């Protein structure tokens, strides 16, 4: 089961909860990892299991970046709050850079998150169809 990482700045956590609820039928097809508080809130709101990393300012962004670098993440949905400075900006930039280095889809708002999920699900469905054809 492919992994999707979920991250949301404090000002975007409510948006992430709404996004997760609206896309529950798609997200259920993935193993979810998330930074601490975001993961806790998504898990409570959706009853989906979420593997939680540390909180972003305490290294959670870096932990997710490591998973991306190890090839363990199919995509990252990171709802960024562009209106506020963040004390862990170097970790955030590091995660963005790692996604670009390893060509991992990165959505930084709900619109791109929706498109990314649709694309990953389409890819999964294509792989499932291919696998069924080869097993027949």
pLDDT single digits (tens) 3-21: 999 999 999 999 999 999 9
Domain boundaries, the chain: 3-135
List pLDDT tens digits, range 60-115: 999 999 999 999 999 999 998 888 766 667 778 889 999 999 999 999 999 999 99
* Residue 93 CB-density burial (10 A; 0-12 exposed, 13-18 middle, 19+ buried): exposed
What are the catalytic residues? 61
End-to-end CA distance of the chain: 22
Asked if CATH classification 3.40.50.1380 holds for the domain at 3-135, the reply, yes or no, is yes
Cα-based torsion angle of the residue sequence 113, 117, 119, 123 in order, rounded to the nearest 10 degrees: 150
């Amino acid at each position: 089961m492919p992994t999707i990482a979920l991250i949301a700045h404090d000002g975007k956590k409510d948006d992430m909860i709404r996004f997760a609820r609206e896309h529950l039928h798609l997200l259920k097809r993935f193993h979810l990892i998330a930074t601490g508080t975001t993961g806790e809130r998504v898990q409570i709101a959706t009853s989906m299991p979420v593997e939680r990393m540390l909180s972003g300012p305490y290294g959670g962004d870096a932990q997710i970046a490591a998973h991306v670098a190890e090839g363990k993440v199919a995509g990252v949905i990171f709802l960024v709050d562009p209106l506020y400075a963040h004390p862990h900006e170097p970790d955030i930039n590091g995660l963005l850079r790692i996604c670009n280095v390893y060509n991992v889809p990165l959505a930084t708002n709900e619109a791109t998150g929706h498109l990314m999920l649709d694309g990953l699900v389409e890819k999964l469905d294509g792989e499932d169809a291919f696998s069924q054809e080869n097993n027949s």
